Amino acid sequence: MSQQLGILVVIDNEAAVVSGTLRDHIYLIDNGHWAGSSGEATGELVTAVEGTQSASQLEQQVLNWVPFGIGSPPVPTPQIAFLQTPDYALLADVPHPVRRPQYFQPRILDSAGVDIRDSLSMRDSGGRVRLAGAEDKTVYYPDPAIINITGEAVDLGVIFPAQYGSPDFFSEGLYWSATVDTNKVGLFSYTMHIRLHYSTRHDGVVTDHAITLPHSAYIKVTRDFAKNGFANTPMILPV
Amino acid sequence: MTAPAIDTLVEVDVSDARPLGTAVLGPPPIGAADYRVPMNAVQINIALLIDTEKALRSGKLENGLYMVDNSVDAAGQPSGSRGTAKLCTSCTQGMVLNWFAFAIAGTITPMITNIEFLERPVCEKLMVYGAPAIDRSPSYVPCITPVYNYWAGIVLPEVPRGRYYYRLDVRLGAITMSVSTPSLDVAEIPKQFETRRSEWTDEPPPPPSDPEQAA
Amino acid sequence: MDPENRTEPRTITIVAVVDVVGILASGSFAGSFYLIDNNRLRGSTGEGTDSLVTRVRPGDRIVWIAMTLECEAFASITAVGIEKEGQRQYCDPHSYVYPNTNIVCWVADVAANAGGARIPYNLSFRLGSRTAAMTTTTTPQLDVQD
């Protein structure tokens, strides 16, 4: 049974886009605080992974990254919240309605339940047409996407990251996960490449933009002997 | 996403909560008492613990199948018939369910090969997961990047409240065995209001989480 | 770097990240509770700590949400407590649910006459299978611009 370590990647999207950097606008938190991780809720997280002397595949350590943009509803919010009621019947009717995007558009909600794109449309939320020459506006979509994971930890074969799918109404539900070669003891950096989206309205025309920004964090693999649970003394496993 | 840890969870009283609407402050709740629904984890893990030797020897999967999950029923108790092949898992519309198979005896690794609901479709994207998306994983290394194998699905939003049985097909070596006794107990979350489609004058932009956009 | 909508009210989100296992195991929030908002560029301080100071303006909308570190762990905010009774006129949080879910958030509008106030608050949570709510003991606050 593998040990699962989760790393929450919290991003202030608007601040990062406006500043052109994730520095100071990314906060990394893992569930390894009690196992020795440091830098929780900063950009300089060091995720501690305990090495094991057992070579068994069942003792794999697995890292999962969960990106989250501040300004979004919480990650666990079921996707029903983003579905438009007329689409409920479509889901039951036709398999994989994501193939028909013109009928099936998820709402992009902010944390207060407001559809972010409403503020870009030429109509206000009451359906009334705005005056001609509506003011310029920029809307920052709160959800960041990790596009790639590279760096020392990958090049040296300490982590093997890949994207895996999960059940999702609108997409393949991809997320990044990596196994750790816990025989490679040491401190290793890795870089996340994170894509942020925003749209601008200028002279009545809406344009979509995306930028990809890098950010590096660390994995620390330690060699800890397995402890005898009764005596709390180090126990050397037979090779 | 795939940790098999079992935690029980309890009911949350949201009867004081008002629904969010397209206007930020939505209309007052209708039938506040209906809001008392089981508050399970949004991801429910259902573990199939299989004594493969017992199942194969007896010829019946249910003789060696012990099912547990991390959900609770409406009374806040662990799912009914836990530890048997008749597990009844409480859930609500929109939840993600994960099914994992483990051998607790024997040398064979059991694999779930199919899950099918008997009465009507209950889950969307109900299929096997765990293979990496190779075209989205530039560091993928064949035979080294791990491949997992488990089933998962997301409960459809229009499934009426009720009990839905499903058939599990599990492969043990060369033999596939089935049970049709586990079930889901779907609790309906009251629909507070209709969400209307946004009006667009232009082509709507692609969803921001779409990784297909060129760098 | 000033936003073009200087006078338009903003929605500011405060994310409370909780390590449910850590809190239940130790009986305290210390080392397992982090607050982050999206207003650092406009003056919030203490991002990522348990004593976040969120810079706001009168008329802004504040949304508090809870997040856990594991997708199977359960956490929900049961109350946002404005500690000084006299300040509840400036900020009166209520709970809301996201459409057709039972995921809860708490929302408050900063009153027009709140300028200059510093409003400490605490958060109460339901965590995991523990029936009694637990309340934070640190002093995050809203710092209302004049």
Q: Does B23 contact C at CB distance below 8 Å?
A: no
Pairing of strands B111-117, A159-164: unpaired
Pairing of strands B96-105, B43-51: parallel
| Poorest-pLDDT segment among B105-114, B206-215, C9-18, C35-44 | B206-215
Nearest-by-Cβ selection for B7 from C73, C98, C102: C73
Which chain A residues have a beta carbon less than 8 Å from that of B122?
A: none
**What are the tokens at B207?**
């969803």
pLDDT tens across C46-59, in order?
999 999 999 999 99
Rounded Cα–Cα distance for residues A131 and A127 (Å): 13
Phi/psi of residue A120, nearest 5 degrees: -90, -20
- Residue of chain C minimizing CA distance to A78: C101
Residue of higher predicted confidence among A85 and A223? A223
Contact C7, C59 (CB under 8 A): no
Which chain B residues have a beta carbon less than 8 Å from that of C61?
A: 24
| Poorest-pLDDT segment among B140-144, C64-68, C95-99 | C95-99
Cβ neighbours of residue C130 closer than 8 Å, sequence gap 6 or more? C24
* Domain total of chain C: 1
Helices and strands, counts by H and E, chain B: 1, 11
Residue of higher predicted confidence among A237 and A209? A209
**What are the tokens at A222?**
């330690």
Nearest-by-Cβ selection for B198 from A91, A115, A197: A115
The angle formed by the CA atoms of residues C102, A96 and A116, to the nearest 5 degrees, is 50
Q: What is the mean pLDDT of residues B35-60?
A: 81
Q: Does B123 contact A at CB distance below 8 Å?
A: yes
Contact B97, B155 (CB under 8 A): yes
Contact A160, A177 (CB under 8 A): no
Q: Do C72 and B14 touch (CB under 8 A)?
A: no
Rounded Cα–Cα distance for residues A58 and A51 (Å): 13
Q: What is the mean pLDDT of residues C118-124?
A: 97
In a domain, C31, yes or no: yes
Task: Find the domain containing C129 and state its range.
Answer: 11-144
Q: What is the mean pLDDT of residues A115-126?
A: 61
Phi/psi of residue B122, nearest 5 degrees: -120, -30
pLDDT tops 50 at residue B196: no
H or E stretch covering B163: strand B162-172
Q: What is the mean pLDDT of residues B192-203?
A: 39
**What are the tokens at B57?**
């020897």
Under the banding of pLDDT at 50, 70 and 90, the label for residue A104 is low
Specify the pLDDT at position A144: 93
Specify the pLDDT at position C33: 97
Rounded Cα–Cα distance for residues C89 and A121 (Å): 35
Q: Does B119 contact A at CB distance below 8 Å?
A: no
| Poorest-pLDDT segment among A36-40, A125-129, B62-66, B157-161 | A125-129
Rounded Cα–Cα distance for residues A63 and A76 (Å): 19
In 3D, which of C109, C56, C58, C102 has the Cα closest to residue C80? C109
Show which of residues 148-177 on chain B sit within 8 Å of chain A, judged by CB atoms.
148, 152-154, 156-159
Helices and strands, counts by H and E, chain C: 1, 10
Q: What is the mean pLDDT of residues B94-99?
A: 92
Evaluate if pTM is beyond 0.90.
Answer: no
pLDDT tops 80 at residue B88: yes
Rounded Cα–Cα distance for residues A231 and A91 (Å): 57
Q: How far apart are the first and last CA of chain C?
A: 20
pLDDT tens across B98-141, in order?
999 999 999 999 999 999 999 999 998 899 999 999 999 998 98
Residue of higher predicted confidence among A106 and A30? A30
Specify the pLDDT at position A86: 58
| Chain B interface test: which of C8, C96, C130 (most B C-beta within 10 Å) | C96
Convert C1-23 to b/e letters by CB count within 10 Å (16 or more is b): eeeeeeeeebbbbbbbbbbbbbb
Most confident of A58-67, A171-180, C99-108: A171-180
pLDDT tops 50 at residue A130: no
pLDDT tops 60 at residue B95: yes
pLDDT tops 70 at residue B159: yes
Nearest-by-Cβ selection for C61 from B24, B39, B44: B24
Please provide the size of chain C in residues.
Answer: 146
- Please report, for the domain that includes residue C89, its CATH number: 2.60.40.3910
Show the domains of chain B with their CATH numbers.
32-187 (2.60.40.3910)
pLDDT tops 80 at residue A231: no
Q: What is the mean pLDDT of residues B83-112?
A: 93
Q: Please give the mean pLDDT across all residues of chain A.
A: 80
Nearest-by-Cβ selection for A73 from C34, C41, C98: C98
Q: Do C31 and A33 touch (CB under 8 A)?
A: yes
pLDDT tens across A212-227, in order?
999 999 999 998 654 4
Contact B81, B65 (CB under 8 A): no
A206 bridge partner residues:
A201
Specify the pLDDT at position B204: 39
Residue of higher predicted confidence among A112 and C91? C91
pLDDT tops 50 at residue A98: no
Residue of higher predicted confidence among B9 and A70? A70
In a domain, C4, yes or no: no
Specify the pLDDT at position B39: 52
Contact B168, C81 (CB under 8 A): no
- The sheet with strand A26-30 has its strands ordered as A26-30, A3-11, A61-69, A175-180, A159-164
Specify the pLDDT at position C130: 82
Distance of CA C95 to the CA centre of its chain: 12
| Poorest-pLDDT segment among A32-46, A79-93, A159-173, B57-71 | A79-93
pLDDT tops 90 at residue B47: yes
pLDDT tops 90 at residue B20: no
The residue assigned the tokens 């049970």 is B179
In a domain, C3, yes or no: no
Residue of higher predicted confidence among A236 and B124? B124
Residue of higher predicted confidence among C100 and C39? C39
